[in-house]
Amino acid sequence: MTGTNTFRIALFPGDGIGAEITEPTRALLDAVAARTGGFSLDWSPCEAGAGCYLAHGSALPRTAIDTARASDAILLAAMGLPDVRYADGREMTPQIDLRFEFGLYAGVRPVKPVPGVRAVLADPRAHDIDYVVVRESIEGLFAPAAPGTRDGDREARETMVITRPVCEKLFDFAFRLAEERGGLRKVTSVDKANVFQAFAFWRDIFYERAGRFEGIAADHAYVDAFAMTMVQKPWEIDVAVTENMFGDILSDLGAALMGGMGYAPSADIGDDHAVFQPCHGSAPDIAGKGLANPTAMILSGAMMLDWLGARHDSVEAVRAASALRRAVEAAFADGRLVTCELGGTAGTEAVFAAVEAALARVDA
């Protein structure tokens, strides 16, 4: 933080639809800060992504990392393009590299449909869906310390890494989150402990840490069964904590249950830094057409304000986060704002305009 209440934000528009949703989100966040008072945002635009690689030969330049490190929070839109790849065929994923760089072990993926957005599940209890998937985000099957190997056209291998220090921090984070949420007060370990050593180890540590959190229930589910629970009775989930690759897959399922990728916000949180970004990628199929739904980006901005508020004791930032969320809910409440991804006509501009108008009406 600079001065009394100015939060420094590193802003990464990235690729594809990223740039289209970044500037209006920044304007909305500035507007809600001005409305609430008591804090302001000082933005540092940063270049990274596939376009940056083509222009400068690096997908995540050192200058961008340094700016991010010196900031109070990082807001990122979307990175990577399927046609821009390294020589070994992998896409560039600087958003994942930032997690390793800053030790952002806890990927927070709320699954909470916006009221008024057409429910994907027919069951009336679908209105009560409100849970969080906590995705371990720096090891598991993505662990950089154990990169995959390929032996010509004979075989290829990947290694899953589960370590005690990261597990302990991750599980404590998940249990604390269940305490703060004050909902069903339950954390579920989502794993595959019946087949893999690494997950048996994971689950042992999970129950060790569970013992430290009185009043919060702990249970477990195999990832395949849990995928069914997410569709058949998601209202029974509170906080689910899972491995990196499983979390990658389950968060897209969660996004689908909210109406699509354009509705799902996220945060990647470490001890000293945090990145906030929508769950979706750069969506090159709709880039440049004005069709991108910016709701996930706006809600990620609200998560950022919440985190900054809690970390820096700023009640105003927490109030601003709440106002922004209520503005999003008000914009969709009557069911008439139907985004393109759900077959409607509301594109990027229409959603921003509706949220901006609603923001002027909500208490801040």
Query: Which residues contact ligand ATP (rule: CB under 6 A)?
Result: 17, 80, 260-262, 280-283, 285-286, 292-293, 296, 341
Is the Cβ of residue 230 or residue 283 nearer to ligand ATP in the bound state?
A: 283
- CA distances 362 to 40, 326, 329, Å, are 19, 7, 10
The phi-psi region of residue 259 (left if phi > 0; otherwise alpha if psi is between -120 and 50; otherwise beta) is left
Crossing angle for the helix pair 223-232 and 244-258, to the nearest 10 degrees? 10
Least distance (Å) between residue 171 CB and ligand ATP: 26
- A 10 A CB-CB count for 85 gives 14
Least distance (Å) between residue 350 CB and ligand ATP: 12
With tokens 């190997």, the residue in question is 149
Least distance (Å) between residue 128 CB and ligand ATP: 25
- A 10 A CB-CB count for 203 gives 17
Cβ atoms of 262 and 293 within 8 Å: the answer is yes
Least distance (Å) between residue 1 CB and ligand ATP: 30
Is the Cβ of residue 91 or residue 172 nearer to ligand ATP in the bound state?
A: 91
Cβ atoms of 262 and 296 within 8 Å: the answer is yes
Cβ atoms of 317 and 309 within 8 Å: the answer is yes
Is the Cβ of residue 186 or residue 280 nearer to ligand ATP in the bound state?
A: 280
Is the Cβ of residue 308 or residue 346 nearer to ligand ATP in the bound state?
A: 346
Is the Cβ of residue 210 or residue 351 nearer to ligand ATP in the bound state?
A: 351
The phi-psi region of residue 137 (left if phi > 0; otherwise alpha if psi is between -120 and 50; otherwise beta) is alpha
Least distance (Å) between residue 282 CB and ligand ATP: 5
With tokens 């208490």, the residue in question is 363
Nearest alpha-carbon partner for 77 in 287, 306, 316: 287
Is the Cβ of residue 31 or residue 292 nearer to ligand ATP in the bound state?
A: 292
Least distance (Å) between residue 223 CB and ligand ATP: 19
What is the Cα–Cα distance from 226 to 134, expressed in whole angstroms? 14
109 strand-pairing partners: 133
Is the Cβ of residue 200 or residue 256 nearer to ligand ATP in the bound state?
A: 256
For the four alpha carbons of 288, 290, 295 and 301, in that order, the dihedral sign comes to positive
Least distance (Å) between residue 158 CB and ligand ATP: 17
Least distance (Å) between residue 245 CB and ligand ATP: 13
Is the Cβ of residue 166 or residue 283 nearer to ligand ATP in the bound state?
A: 283
